[in-house]
């Protein structure tokens, strides 16, 4: 196991404040409750603190944190106790502390492969080429995912929906 890179408290704090909103938004899209989202954000930054990754730039730092957050959420959602929990019990609980709208809710309801691509492209401003590199997928796959996600969003939100423009 690699020895963790020594980062100063100031460096950790700076990284945290630079990216916490983005990481929270990504985690919330997967976890859907404040408590689970906050746990995932915490776990993501703990992985950053204990990792030996040297970031080439702020963009590399952000991409690493997003990829880590997605993996943390996926692993949490696969955990055995989530399979035994009755989510109907939580249907009426309002535990969100971020504002959402119909579009964000529809994006969160997309299949995982589409949701991640849409979040990175429209909410975080990455290009399809950057997303392809980040997710280790061919760029053509990413553009196909975006196209399919847009179709699904138009179907969900109405035929004349123009909230997600056709751009690659």
pLDDT of residue 95: 44
Our count of domains for the chain comes to 2
Apex CA 56: angle with CA 61 and CA 11, to 5°? Answer: 55
CA dist., res. 144 & res. 137, Å (int): 11
Domain shared by 74 and 27, yes or no? yes
DSSP annotation of 90 reads G
Chosen domain end from 98, 113, 137: 98
Tokens standing for residue 134: 């980040």
Task: Calculate the average pLDDT of the chain.
Answer: 80
Domain shared by 143 and 129, yes or no? yes
Whole-prediction pTM: 0.64
Chosen domain end from 98, 118, 133: 98
Residue 1 lies in a domain: no
Q: Model confidence over 62-120: pLDDT tens digits?
A: 999 999 999 999 888 887 555 444 444 444 444 444 455 677 788 888 888 888 888 88
Query: Residue 134 — pLDDT band, cuts 50, 70, 90?
Result: confident
Domain shared by 28 and 81, yes or no? yes
pLDDT of residue 34: 87
Domain shared by 82 and 16, yes or no? yes
Distances (CA, A) of 127 to 29, 122, 124, 138: 20, 9, 9, 13
Residue 2 lies in a domain: no
Chosen domain end from 98, 132, 151: 98
Domain shared by 46 and 109, yes or no? no
Find the domain containing 134 and state its range: 100-159
Q: Model confidence over 72-85: pLDDT tens digits?
A: 998 888 875 554 44
Residue 74 lies in a domain: yes
């Amino acid at each position: 196991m690699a020895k963790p890179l020594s980062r100063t408290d100031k460096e950790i704090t700076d990284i945290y404040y630079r990216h916490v909103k983005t990481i929270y938004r990504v985690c919330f899209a997967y976890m859907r409750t404040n408590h689970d989202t906050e746990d995932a954000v915490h776990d993501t930054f703990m992985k950053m603190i204990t990792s030996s990754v040297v970031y080439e730039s702020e963009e590399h730092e952000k991409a690493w944190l997003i990829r880590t957050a997605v993996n943390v959420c996926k692993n949490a959602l696969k955990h055995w106790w989530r399979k035994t929990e009755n989510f109907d019990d939580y249907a009426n609980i309002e535990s969100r502390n971020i504002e959402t709208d119909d579009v964000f809710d529809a994006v969160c309801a997309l299949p995982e492969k589409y949701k991640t691509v849409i979040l990175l492209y429209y909410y975080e401003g990455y290009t399809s080429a950057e997303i392809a590199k980040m997710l280790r997928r061919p760029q053509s796959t990413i553009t196909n995912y975006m196209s399919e996600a847009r179709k699904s969003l138009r179907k969900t939100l109405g035929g004349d929906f123009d909230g997600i423009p056709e751009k690659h």
